[in-house]
Amino acid sequence: MIYDMRCSSVFFLLFGLVGMAQSQCDCPPISDRPVVTVPTGGTGTTEWTCDNTYVLDGYVFVQNGQVLTIEAGTVVKGGAGSGADAAALIVSRGGQIIADGTVDCPIIMTYEADPLDGSVSYDTRGQWGGLIVLGNATTNFGGVAQVEGIPADNDQASYGGDDDTDNSGTLRYVSVRHGGAELGAANEINGITLAGVGSGTTIENVEVVSNLDDGIEFFGGAVSVKNALVAFCGDDSFDWDQGYHGVANENWLAIQDQPAAVGDRGGELDGDDSDDGNVSADETPFSTPTISGWTIVGVGGNQGLLFRNGSGGHVSNAVITNVSEGIEIEDKETPEDAFDRWLAGDLTLMDVTIVGDAAIDYDGSEVEDGDEQLAAYAAANNVVVNNAFGVDYTFAFNASGTTATDTINVECGAGSGHAWAVGWTFCDAIQLFGGQGTINNVEASAAQALTLWPNPTRGDLWVVGIPAFANLEVRTMTGGLVWDGKVTEGEAIIPSQGWTAGAYILVWSADGVTGRERFIVR
């Protein structure tokens, strides 16, 4: 099958970084890279390159005034250990990380024993710490705080200040896998922690896979994240609190561990998650981030998004699947709760489709008609339950947990989609997206027996199985148009001679159906 060829090539790119990746990234195979042990302490201003594998031996800090540059294609591994011996990469306030990968050459952060050959089960969690970025942006603590997951006696793990434009560096095409090592009972490190991080920081195309705790958590700050995939985490996929207020978030995709029913919510959303009395008396600034494009694949029986403890937020263009309640808004706390933020206009929802039992639920007793108020709001703002919606959100794995046997397709014309996650993510490498990639109509496209041959190709690429006179476009993974044409008599030939080696997307449209297929040019 064409899907087997497609995902086989991705395996080499994502897991082994051999063959094709060697030519594209000028990176040697994993087996040829010497191990560089990075000791506990500061990195200094330095560059980590893809001709080595870097193993973190404990807490490794990019300290104030230091800049750590990580070359595209580099692999960083956390050494084994838990508690005080856990390994984590921590960017302190005033430090910067420049981890600038590419779609063909992502940066991978995983645990020391991961061979990166596709043999690790998708649900392997808690094997090392994770990535923590600390900045000088505002929180509702009104001053400096100690980040969750790092012992309080560590003076390099504080965050918060008064500079919302603070710049902690760049994370681009970075995959963080199998983290969340336990420091103590119910105290784990998040996959990516962003605490007091400012809007000058660039974060786009990031993935967190199988973290024991939350996937991505924001503790205040003003940073925005574009194209973020969180999959198979043990707790919440996305979590914000302490006055998080990033305004340009786009395309968040949460995929919970549906086969094992592991995970809590797609988003647990707070203004203040602390009970220690350290926040400002009125809990300001409130959490009021903006997210456009959010897809949640739930585990069933829970909420997709839970707003509570003074959280606002502005969510539009969302798809929430396999949940009992799409959105729950609490009205339980004093002086502020999420329902108060909704009344004030700081919590808005628009164009949200729920595949589940209920759209919005009022959880509280402070007003008698809370459910009625929210139901009227939902009807006026296109927040609806539609269990016939054309999205394929169920999936399953083989016995070893290394390959999807039932794939998902969330390219349904709403929410985040998954097209931007093709070609560089762990999820794509384990065939979770299955090569279907339909945009407008899942069922109609699935009936198309599309074949691309040979794939990978060094010359002509044959396209067979699309209706005659379909329109074709070939685009780069960043959207640039490379070639266009039409199908005649059910097949077409795409001349790829001379094209830059790498991954491309074939976009086809016919009879009101649009789909995508990925192929490789060598």
- To which H or E segment does residue 207 belong? strand 202-209
Residue 265 within a domain: yes
Q: What is the pTM of this model?
A: 0.81
DSSP states along 90-154: EE-TT-EEEEE--SSS-EEEEETT--SSS-S-TT---SS--EEEE-----TTSS-EEPTTS-TT-
CATH number of domain containing 510: 2.60.40.10
Name which of 346-350, 351-355, 487-491, 495-499 the model is least confident about: 487-491
Q: Are 161 and 289 in a shared domain?
A: yes
Phi and psi for 194 in degrees, rounded to 5? -120, 105
Indicate whether 467 pLDDT > 80.
no
Residue 286 within a domain: yes
Mean pLDDT, to the nearest integer, of 383-411?
Answer: 94
Indicate whether 342 pLDDT > 90.
yes
Q: Name the most confidently modeled range: 182-191, 192-201, 449-458.
A: 192-201
Q: Can you give the pLDDT at residue 520?
A: 78
Q: Can you give the pLDDT at residue 185?
A: 58
Distant-in-sequence, close-in-space partners of 44: CB < 8 Å, separation ≥ 6: 66
Residue 214 within a domain: yes
Indicate whether 195 pLDDT > 50.
yes
Indicate whether 241 pLDDT > 60.
yes
Asked if 293 contacts 450 with a C-beta cutoff of 8 angstroms, the reply is no
For the stretch 38-62, pLDDT in tens is 999 999 999 999 999 999 999 999 9
Residue 38 within a domain: yes
Q: Are 60 and 185 in a shared domain?
A: yes
Mean pLDDT, to the nearest integer, of 119-140?
Answer: 96
Q: Are 469 and 336 in a shared domain?
A: no
Q: Are 341 and 462 in a shared domain?
A: no
Residue 431 within a domain: no
Asked if 364 contacts 341 with a C-beta cutoff of 8 angstroms, the reply is no
Comparing 334 with 145, which gets the higher pLDDT? 145
Separation of CA 93 from chain center: 24
pLDDT averaged over the chain?
87
Q: Can you give the pLDDT at residue 475?
A: 80
Q: Can you give the pLDDT at residue 277?
A: 58
Percentage of the chain exceeding pLDDT 70: 89
Q: Are 378 and 454 in a shared domain?
A: no
Q: Which of 186, 196, 247 is nearest to 217 (CA)?
A: 196
Give the domain-ending residue among 385, 418, 438: 385
Q: Can you give the pLDDT at residue 450?
A: 66
Q: Are 375 and 454 in a shared domain?
A: no
Indicate whether 429 pLDDT > 70.
yes
Q: Are 371 and 492 in a shared domain?
A: no
Q: Can you give the pLDDT at residue 274?
A: 60
Whole-number Å distance between alpha carbons of 185 and 165: 35
Whole-number Å distance between alpha carbons of 450 and 470: 12
Q: Which of 113, 135, 132, 134 is nearest to 124 (CA)?
A: 113
Domain span at residue 130 reads 2-385
Q: Can you give the pLDDT at residue 512?
A: 67
Residue 300 within a domain: yes
Comparing 182 with 398, which gets the higher pLDDT? 398
Confidence bin at 26 (pLDDT 50/70/90): confident
Give the domain-ending residue among 355, 385, 415: 385
Q: Which of 174, 235, 195, 182 is nearest to 90 (CA)?
A: 195
Confidence bin at 22 (pLDDT 50/70/90): very low
Whole-number Å distance between alpha carbons of 389 and 386: 6
Q: Are 145 and 284 in a shared domain?
A: yes
Q: Are 233 and 327 in a shared domain?
A: yes
Q: Which of 20, 84, 99 is nearest to 54 (CA)?
A: 99
Residue 392 within a domain: no
Name which of 71-80, 91-100, 295-304, 448-457 the model is least confident about: 448-457
Domain count, the chain: 2
For the stretch 142-180, pLDDT in tens is 789 999 878 778 889 999 999 999 999 999 999 999 999
Give the domain-ending residue among 366, 385, 404: 385
Q: Are 223 and 102 in a shared domain?
A: yes
Comparing 345 with 279, which gets the higher pLDDT? 345
Compute and round to an integer the Cα radius of gyration of the chain.
23
Residue 394 within a domain: no
Q: Which of 407, 192, 207, 393 is nearest to 304 (CA)?
A: 393
